[in-house]
Amino acid sequence: MQPLVSARRYLENAGISNLLTSAWRFRHYIGGAILNTFRARLARSRLGAVWMILNPLALVAIYALVLSVFLAGRLPGLEGRFSFAIYLTAGIFAWTLFCDLLTRGVTLFIDHANLIKKVAFPRISLLLTVVGVALIDNLMLLLAVILIFGVLGHWPDAHILWLPLLVALNLGIGLGLGLLLGVLNVFIRDIGQVVPVVLQFTFWLTPIVYAHEMLPPAAQTLTAFNPLVPLITSYQDVMVFARAPQPLALLELTLLAILLLALAQMLFRRASPEMVDAL
């Protein structure tokens, strides 16, 4: 007779923890869930998949047109009529992925409470579905951005090859923070209310619509503690100024991403047994 396993072990075998192996076992589900998200989003629309590129294109085009007319050439160190529009678009592109991952992560478990309470499946697959959807959305946005940049006469050069690394760092930070807050939000629901407000603040404390040098020195020391500053400026370096990102910024971001992911993963593991009880 085989020995009895402890209850905790049984749960792990059932696929709740053991993140990577269970994620691999459910790869078809995750793939299907990503596909179905887009299918459901585009169902019953005549243009279907065309909207996937049309929506971000419209967004970027509005920024570019409006800003190049009203706020042309007010950025230090940048020449050209469309420079501000290009600068802003790069910042928005970086911010959108971070914001997307964070907001979806925070409500991830609450949104899928019913499924989590009724079906035994690895919860990590919900998270990976969100990652997949966010990355595809981000890719569509990137295509739109490049298209608009081209129209404005600012074809990106070889420095754009830095982008995959920056997206990966952005992903690590957004995902880590999103998962961390998402787990806590199951138990402390106020988090879901606070996050959007804090995000708004952070947006304005990050040099997206302004340049870092435009801030008064006092404010510059304040934003020094904003971990998104190196992320956004790296994006801007690559996409706007056609230069390599600061090595120090990359190091900071890498450490931050690793730290957040490790913390989130640990919290997720420890909270897992009690998560269903609180949903």
Partner 1 sequence: MSLLSVRNLGKAYRRYDAEWQRVANWFGASHSPCQEHWTLRNIDFELNPGESLGIVGRNGAGKSTLLKIITGIVAPSEGQIELRSPNPSDTQKGRIAAILELGMGFDLELTGRQNALHTAELMGFERAHVQAALPEIAAFADIGSYFDQPLRTYSTGMQARVAFAAVTAFRPDLLIVDEALSVGDAHFQAKCYERIAAFRAQGTSLILVTHAMSDVIVHCDRALLLRDGRLVGDDTPAHITNLYFDDLFGHSCPVTAAPAVDPQPEGASTHSDFDTADARERFHTRPGYRKEEHRWGEGGAVILDYRIRAAEVEYPACIESGTMTEFAFRVQFERACASVVPGLLIKTLDGVFVYGANSLVVRSGRTGGPIAVGTGARRVFRFRLPLALNGGDYLISFGISAGDQTETLIPLERRYDAVIVHVSRALPFWGLADLDATLEVDGASAA
- Residue 36 CA, chain-centre distance (Å), reads 20
How many angstroms separate the CA atoms of 85 and 81, rounded?
9
Among 18, 23, 31, 202, binds partner 1 (CB under 8 A): 31
Binding part of the chain for partner 1, among 40-48, 152-160, 216-224, 235-243 by CB under 8 A, reads 40-48
Query: To the nearest whole angstrom, how small is the minimum distance from the Cβ of residue 93 to partner 1?
Result: 29
Among 19, 52, 86, 116, binds partner 1 (CB under 8 A): 116
Among 80, 132, 227, 273, binds partner 1 (CB under 8 A): 273
Residue among 41 and 74 whose Cβ is closer to partner 1: 41
Binding part of the chain for partner 1, among 37-45, 100-108, 149-157, 197-205 by CB under 8 A, reads 37-45
Q: Which two tokens stand for residue 177?
A: 């923070």
Binding part of the chain for partner 1, among 27-35, 85-93, 94-102, 171-179 by CB under 8 A, reads 27-35
How many angstroms separate the CA atoms of 124 and 179, rounded?
10
Interface pattern 174-193 for partner 1 (x via CB under 8 A): ----------x--xx-----
Angle at 250 between CA 249 and CA 254, to 5 degrees: 120
How many angstroms separate the CA atoms of 25 and 198, rounded?
37
Q: According to the binding rule CB under 8 A, does residue 274 interact with partner 1?
A: yes
Among 18, 19, 26, 213, binds partner 1 (CB under 8 A): 26
How many angstroms separate the CA atoms of 42 and 32, rounded?
15
Q: Which two tokens stand for residue 243?
A: 């230069």
Q: According to the binding rule CB under 8 A, does residue 53 interact with partner 1?
A: no
Query: DSSP readout, 31-62?
Result: HHHHHHHHHHHHTT-SSTTHHHHHHHHHHHHH
Query: To the nearest whole angstrom, how small is the minimum distance from the Cβ of residue 146 to partner 1?
Result: 31
Q: According to the binding rule CB under 8 A, does residue 16 interact with partner 1?
A: yes
Residue among 10 and 204 whose Cβ is closer to partner 1: 10
Q: According to the binding rule CB under 8 A, does residue 8 interact with partner 1?
A: yes
CB 72 within 8 A of CB 65: no
Going 27 to 28 to 32 to 35, the CA torsion angle's sign is positive
Nearest to 82 by CA among 155, 152, 156: 152
The binding site for partner 1 (CB under 8 A) comprises: 1-2, 4-8, 10-11, 13-16, 25-26, 28-29, 31-33, 36, 39-40, 43-44, 114-121, 184, 187-188, 267, 270-274, 276-277
